[in-house]
């Protein structure tokens, strides 16, 4: 999530929670709505507000390291862009500007005005023929030794749920335990089920979504072949996949290997820009570079091989 999204969510949730706590304190009611039967509407509201605060805290803890790292990299890129423009190194400025926009938009979900000014200065001096730009954090990625050699098409499955997704289920399990404890301690289980129906639905959706993703995977795959990358999407309403093919010999390609997963931006001849975020680590990055730099003829890419 972006900083703006978190700020807007916090501006909505925190005042509401504070108001509910003040109301409960004024009415001499308990400020902890878990582990006991609830009797008032304000306690029900506080329960959901505290759940929302837990989710907001999780998002902040998950996103804060990335925000700080992106901010430091963006400031370094801004200085490098100004220096490259001053020395008329237009291609270097363009690559730095592209990464700067990616980093800043990941934090704030918008592009600052000075990025537009830089783009207007750099764009007229850029060549229109094909270019492959790769930037990285520390060590340069290994490049294929022989670009004329062909290789078999490679299909990479989607990422499985991360460890952070599993950690998120821990407080969800605690909430489910407290709800079951409330129901077990009270004989009015229909009323408690009715009170907690929204929370139970949220818990079922979280657990069901996690295990469905773990068992079935996501519906997007990538296939790499010499000079081509294919985006393969499977839809439950269709028996056959939807395939979008990008000819890497006819686009300007920017590959970002700085983060945890490779980010690929394709600039097509019609000024269309496509951004793909790949997972899979080093293996996917190596396949991407082989496909982008290979000059071998494109092998057959049958659709039947994707249906296994």
SS3 195: helix
Q: Are residues 8 and 102 in the same domain?
A: yes
Model confidence pLDDT, tens digit, residues 3-13: 888 888 899 99
Does the residue 175 lie in any domain?
Answer: yes
224 plus 198 within the same structural domain: no
pLDDT at 231: 85
As a whole number of angstroms, the distance between CA 91 and CA 13 comes to 45
Q: In what order do the strands lie in the sheet with 228-233?
A: 154-156, 220-225, 228-233, 242-247
End-to-end alpha carbon distance in the chain: 35
The answer to whether residues 182 and 37 touch, using CB atoms and an 8 Å cutoff, is yes
Answer whether residue 303 is part of any domain.
no
Q: What is the DSSP string of 290-306?
A: HHHH--SPPPP--SGGG
Q: What is the predicted pLDDT for the residue at 35? A: 66
Q: Write the CB contacts of 121 (distance below 8 Å, at least 6 apart in sequence).
A: 85, 93
Three-state secondary-structure class, residue 1:
coil
Separation CA 282–CA 287 (nearest Å): 9
Q: Does residue 177 share a domain with residue 68?
A: no
Residue among 51, 11, 12, 47 nearest 30 (CA) = 47
Count of domains forming the chain: 3
pLDDT at position 220: 75
Instruction: Tell me how many helices (H) and strands (E) the chain has.
Output: 8, 8
Sign of CA dihedral 174, 180, 184, 190: positive
Statement to judge: residues 171 and 101 lie in one domain: no
Rounded to two decimals, what is the model's pTM?
Answer: 0.55
Residues of the chain with pLDDT under 50: none
- What pLDDT score does 110 carry? 80
What distance in Å separates the CA atoms of residue 16 and residue 228, rounded to the nearest whole number?
52
**Residue 227: which CATH number?**
2.30.29
Helix axes 3-26, 41-86, angle to 10 degrees: 160
Judgement on whether residues 192 and 284 belong to the same structural domain of the protein? no
Digit-coded pLDDT (tens) for 15-37: 999 999 998 888 888 888 776 66
- Predicted confidence at residue 80, as pLDDT, reads 92
- Predicted confidence at residue 161, as pLDDT, reads 57
Do 122 and 3 share a structural domain?
Answer: yes
Reading the block at residue 165, the tokens are: 């997704």
8 Å CB contact between 160 and 215: no
Do 113 and 193 lie in a common domain?
no
pLDDT of residue 22: 92
> How many Å apart are CA 20 and CA 43, to the nearest integer?
8
Same domain, 165 and 105: no
pLDDT of residue 84: 92
Residue 142 counted as domain residue: no
Rounded to the nearest angstrom, the gap between the alpha carbon of residue 45 and the centroid of all alpha carbons in its chain is 31
Between CA 276 and CA 287 the distance in angstroms is 14
Task: Give Cα separations from 41 to 29, 33, 45, 47, 284 (angstroms).
Answer: 12, 11, 6, 10, 52
pLDDT at 214: 56
Q: Is residue 144 part of a domain?
A: no
Considering the domain architecture, whether residues 170 and 248 belong to the same structural domain is answered as no
Average pLDDT, the chain: 77
Residues 192 and 224 in one domain: no
Q: Which of 176, 197, 217 is the last residue of a domain?
A: 217
Structure confidence at residue 14 (pLDDT): 92
Does residue 24 lie in a domain region?
yes
Domain that holds residue 210: 160-217
Residue appearing with tokens 């690929």: 264
Residue 28 placed within a domain: yes
Are 262 and 207 in a shared domain?
A: no
Check whether residue 13 and residue 115 sit in a common domain: yes
In the chain, helix, strand, coil percent, each to 5? 55, 15, 35
Residue 135 lies in a domain: no
Does residue 9 sit within a domain?
yes
């Amino acid at each position: 999530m972006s900083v703006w999204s978190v700020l807007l969510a916090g501006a909505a949730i925190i005042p509401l929670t504070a108001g509910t706590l003040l109301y409960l304190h004024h009415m001499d009611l308990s400020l902890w709505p878990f582990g006991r039967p609830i009797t008032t509407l304000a306690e029900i509201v506080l329960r959901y507000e505290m759940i929302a605060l837990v989710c907001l805290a999780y998002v902040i803890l998950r996103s804060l390291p990335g925000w700080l790292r992106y901010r430091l990299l963006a400031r370094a890129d801004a200085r490098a862009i100004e220096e490259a423009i001053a020395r008329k190194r237009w291609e270097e400025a363009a690559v730095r500007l592209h990464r700067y926009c990616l980093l800043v938009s990941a934090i704030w979900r918008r592009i600052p005005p000075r990025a537009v000014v830089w783009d207007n200065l750099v764009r007229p001096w850029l060549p229109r023929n094909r270019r492959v730009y790769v930037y990285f954090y520390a060590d340069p990625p290994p490049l294929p030794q022989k670009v004329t050699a062909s290789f078999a098409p490679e299909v990479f499955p989607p990422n499985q749920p991360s460890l952070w997704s599993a950690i998120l289920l821990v407080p969800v399990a605690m909430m489910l335990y407290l709800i079951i404890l409330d129901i077990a301690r009270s004989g009015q289980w229909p009323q408690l089920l009715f009170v907690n129906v929204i929370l139970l639905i949220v818990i079922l959706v979280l657990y069901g979504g996690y295990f469905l993703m773990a068992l079935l995977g996501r519906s997007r795959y990538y296939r790499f072949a010499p000079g081509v990358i294919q985006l393969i999407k499977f839809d439950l309403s269709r028996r056959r996949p939807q395939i979008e093919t990008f000819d890497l010999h006819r686009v300007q390609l920017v590959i970002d290997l700085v983060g945890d997963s490779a980010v690929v931006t394709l600039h097509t001849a019609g000024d269309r820009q496509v951004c793909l975020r790949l997972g899979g680590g080093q293996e996917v990055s190596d396949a991407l570079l082989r496909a982008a730099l290979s000059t071998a003829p494109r092998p057959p890419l049958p659709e039947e091989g994707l249906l296994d």
